[in-house]
Amino acid sequence: MAAESGEYGMLLGIPSLETGVLGGIAVGLIAVWVYKKFHTFNPPEMVGFFAGDRSVGIVMVFFSILLGFFMMLIWPPIQAGLTAMANVIASDATNPAYVGLYGMLERLLIPTGLHHIWYAPFLWTSLGGTATVDGSIVSGDQYIFLAQIAEGVDVTAGRFMAGKFPIVMFGLLGAAFAMYRQADPDKRPVVRGSLARSGWDGVLDRDHRTDRIHVLIHCTTPLRCAQCVDRGVVCAHVRS
């Protein structure tokens, strides 16, 4: 259950805290600090093999262990906060405003990698709803949707997924066109092929990770905020 909800991942068969990109950022920042601090380290001659850059990896092992203990203390409250918010939304999932809040927060969390923790309970656990399909009890918005499709019955699920596709299939194509129009006239032939290829990639395979467009959106705060709000509005509208 914990693994399905996104709270834990399996690492070498061991349940591990799923901190997403934030965990990687923390490790990266510590690695930079350790390198600057120890890459010129000169130990006694008898252990001279570990001088310089070789000492960085060794020191990093101990700092990583300390980071692991630190994350054990600070990460559960963060996870609990996300879970509490998920429970609030799931408690009235037929409310378009709540579904819109779900979509906006999912988009907002993408740069940190925490969107995997956010959407997993809705798609694959009872937080996303429970339904009886062909005599079997199915939980999770995506599981219910797939089960209803497989049995050929009326589809009642998908409220946490439907709002994604208009943005991915048409919103990114519109963003690509806007970027093309804002490009300098002499640069448009260069950017046209790249943006058109990325935009149509979103339309054809509904891939929200359309690299070139999303890199530009993620790096521009106003565009990022506008996209999050847009996603929330679309999710709420589709649900209503």
What is the three-state SS of the chain?
A: CHHHHCCEEEECCEEEECCHHHHHHHHHHHHHHHHHHHCCCCCCHHHHHHCCCHHHHHHHHHHHHHHHHHHHHHHHHHHHHHHHHHHHHHHCCCCHHHHHHHHHHHHHHHHHCCHHHHHHHHHHCHHHCEEEECCEEEECHHHHHHHHHHHCCCCCCCCCCCCHHHHHHHHHHHHHHHHHHHCCCCCHHHHHHHHHHHHHHHHHHCCCCCHHHHHHHHCCHHHHHHHHHHHHHHHHHHHC
pLDDT exceeds cutoff 90 at 66: yes
4 band by pLDDT with thresholds 50, 70 and 90: very low
pLDDT exceeds cutoff 50 at 152: yes
* Cα gap 176→2, rounded to integer Å: 39
149 band by pLDDT with thresholds 50, 70 and 90: very high
140 φ, ψ to 5°?
Answer: 100, 130
Residue-level pLDDT at 53? 82
pLDDT exceeds cutoff 70 at 18: yes
147 band by pLDDT with thresholds 50, 70 and 90: very high
54 band by pLDDT with thresholds 50, 70 and 90: confident
179 vs 65 pLDDT, higher one = 65
194 vs 6 pLDDT, higher one = 194
pTM score, whole prediction? 0.66
Long-range (24+ apart) CB contacts under 8 A made by 145-149 are none
User: What average pLDDT does this structure show over 212-228?
Assistant: 67
Residue-level pLDDT at 217? 58
pLDDT exceeds cutoff 50 at 2: no
pLDDT exceeds cutoff 90 at 157: no
Output the CA–CA distances (angstroms, integers) from residue 204 to 137, 169, 194, in the order listed. 33, 7, 16
* Cα gap 187→171, rounded to integer Å: 23
User: What average pLDDT does this structure show over 167-190?
Assistant: 83
User: What average pLDDT does this structure show over 20-47?
Assistant: 83
Place of tokens 């019955």: 153
Lowest mean pLDDT among 45-54, 67-76, 161-170, 177-186: 45-54
Lowest mean pLDDT among 1-5, 71-75, 138-142, 203-207: 1-5
* Cα gap 34→155, rounded to integer Å: 54
User: What average pLDDT does this structure show over 16-41?
Assistant: 84
10 φ, ψ to 5°?
Answer: -100, 120
111 band by pLDDT with thresholds 50, 70 and 90: confident
pLDDT exceeds cutoff 90 at 226: no
Nearest 5°: the CA angle 220, 224, 226 is 120
Residue-level pLDDT at 1? 43
